[in-house]
Amino acid sequence: MNKVTLVIMDGVGITKEEYGNAVMKANTPNLDKLMSKYPNTLINAHGTYVGLSSNSDMGNSEVGHNAMGCGQVYSQGAKLVNEAIESGDLFKGSTWKKLIDFCKDNNTLHFIGLLSDGNVHSHINHLFAMLDEAKNAGVKKVRVHILLDGRDVEEKSALKYVSMLEEKLNSLNDSNFNGMIASGGGRMAVTMDRYEANWDIVEKGWNAHVLGNARKFHSARDAILTYRNEEDATDQFMDSFVIVDKNNNPIGTISDGDSVIFYNFRGDRAIEISRAFDDIEFDKFDRIRVPKVMYAGMLQYDSDFNIPKLYLTEPPKIKNTLTEELCKYNIREYAISETQKYGHVTYFWNGNRLDKVDEKLETYEKIDSDIIPFEKKPEMKAYEITDKLIDAIKSNKYDFLRCNFPNGDMVGHTGNFLATVKAVEAVDDNIGRIMREVENDNSILIVMADHGNAEEMYQLKDREKIIPKTSHTTNKVPFIIYGNNLDNIKIKEGEFSLANLAATITTLFDIEKNPNWLESIIEKK
In a 3-state reduction of DSSP, which class is residue 333? Answer: strand
**What span, in angstroms and rounded, lies between the C-alpha atoms of 378 and 410?**
9
pLDDT at 52: 87
| Residues 445 and 384 grouped into a single domain | yes
| Residues 67 and 106 grouped into a single domain | no
pLDDT at 416: 95
Residues of the chain with pLDDT under 70: 1, 303-304, 315, 462
- Condensed to tens digits (0 to 9), the pLDDT of residues 444-476 reads 999 999 999 999 999 877 677 788 888 899 999
- Supply the range of the domain harboring residue 355: 4-76+317-524
CB within 8 Å of 521: residues ≥ 6 apart: 41, 43, 479, 491, 492, 496, 500, 501, 503, 504
Nearest 5°: the CA angle 416, 200, 367 is 65
| Residues 343 and 201 grouped into a single domain | no
Number of independent structural domains in the chain? 2
| Residues 290 and 349 grouped into a single domain | no
| Residues 357 and 489 grouped into a single domain | yes
Catalytic residue flag (residue 53): no
pLDDT at 462: 67
| Residues 333 and 424 grouped into a single domain | yes
| Residues 226 and 374 grouped into a single domain | no
pLDDT at 1: 58
| Residues 367 and 236 grouped into a single domain | no
pTM: 0.78
What's the CATH code of the domain at 327?
Answer: 3.40.720.10
Strands (E), 12-55: 40-43
Q: One-letter amino acid identity for 361?
A: L
pLDDT at 451: 97
What's the CATH code of the domain at 112?
Answer: 3.40.1450.10
pLDDT at 93: 94
CB within 8 Å of 391: residues ≥ 6 apart: none
Among candidate residues 61, 116, 240, 259, the one labeled active-site is 61
- Condensed to tens digits (0 to 9), the pLDDT of residues 261-274 reads 999 998 889 999 99
| Residues 285 and 331 grouped into a single domain | no
pLDDT at 469: 87
Of 256, 284, 313, which closes a domain? 313
pLDDT at 467: 83
Residue 184: closest CA among 152, 231, 217: 217
Residue 160, number of CB atoms within 10 A of its CB = 15
Cα atoms in the 13 Å half-sphere on the side-chain side of 54: 4
pLDDT at 525: 81
pLDDT at 452: 97
